[in-house]
Amino acid sequence: AQSVTQPDIHITVSEGASLELRCNYSYGATPYLFWYVQSPGQGLQLLLKYFSGDTLVQGIKGFEAEFKRSQSSFNLRKPSVHWSDAAEYFCAVGAKNQGGKLIFGQGTELSVKP
Amino acid sequence: GAGVSQSPSNKVTEKGKDVELRCDPISGHTALYWYRQSLGQGLEFLIYFQGNSAPDKSGLPSDRFSAERTGGSVSTLTIQRTQQEDSAVYLCASSLEGLNTEAFFGQGTRLTVV
């Protein structure tokens, strides 16, 4: 069965520090991978996605993620975190033959210390 | 409107009552999705529409849940004989064609069953 695991429920980083949020997936076919961000009181916003090609993908707000097939991972990174990055981050997996269905991880809540 | 619109934004209902949740997707988007976000369960897929058809309704938790889409636009999610465990935020998303095009999420409807 398809599944997505985000091992870290809550992470706290200092402003200006680097960030890595982990995501592991279990999927039989070639996955489509996504990272979404949800700020308090806001809807989900797409940060970046991977379908094929270059395994390092760039997204909005200075985020990037790297697809590692051998590790079944799609970790999200940012070199320098800003206070406005505090939010909940969701990794999701889908597949072309699944229509539009996305399987989401449980989410990682990011807090940023001044 | 410019984004996905959901109504009502909040709904409190008594156990056993029926509720209808509405989603207005972005104009021209053929794909529409319903998800449920609850504490401890994360984001769960409910149903996917392509046009007015629902090729994947595998996430509907019971036969008390149903959804329809008319005119390739507005969708309604109906929950009959609501139970306390139905309390959650119900999110709607739409995309231009399907998974390979970005899904835009609404702000959600917060349903509380008392």
Nearest CB to B43; choose among A42, A90, A96: A90
Mean pLDDT of B13-35: 96
Q: What is the pLDDT of residues A50-98, one digit of tens each?
A: 988 899 999 999 999 999 999 999 999 999 999 999 999 999 998 777 7
* Count of domains for chain B: 1
Tell me the CA distances in angstroms from B74 to A89, B18, B63, B92, one per residue in order: 28, 19, 21, 11
Q: Which residues of A touch B50 (CB under 8 A)?
A: 99-100
Q: Which pLDDT value is given to residue A81? A: 97
Cβ(A25)–Cβ(A17) under 8 Å? no
Question: Residue A84 in 3-state DSSP?
Answer: helix
- The verdict on a CB contact (< 8 Å) between B98 and A100 is yes
Q: Which pLDDT value is given to residue B1? A: 54
Write out the residue range of the structural domain in which residue B47 sits.
5-113
User: Strand A10-14 vs strand A108-113: parallel, antiparallel, or unpaired?
Assistant: parallel
- The verdict on a CB contact (< 8 Å) between B56 and A100 is yes
Whether B68 has a pLDDT exceeding 90, the answer reads yes
Q: What is the CATH number of the domain that holds B14?
A: 2.60.40.10
Burial class (CB in 10 A: 0-12, 13-18, 19+), A14: exposed
Query: Picking from A95-99, B60-64, B79-83, which range would have the lowest pLDDT averaged per residue?
Result: A95-99
Residue of B nearest to A6 (CA): B42
Whether B93 has a pLDDT exceeding 60, the answer reads yes
Q: Which domains does chain A have, with CATH numbers?
A: 3-113 (2.60.40.10)
Residues A22 and A39: their CA atoms lie apart, in Å, by 19
Mean pLDDT of B60-84: 96
Q: H or E segment at A95?
A: none
Whether A41 has a pLDDT exceeding 80, the answer reads no
Residues B89 and B77: their CA atoms lie apart, in Å, by 12
Q: H or E segment at B31?
A: strand B31-38
Q: Which ranges in B3-68 belong to alpha helices (H)?
A: none
Residue of A nearest to B36 (CA): A104
Query: Picking from B14-23, B37-46, B76-85, which range would have the lowest pLDDT averaged per residue?
Result: B37-46
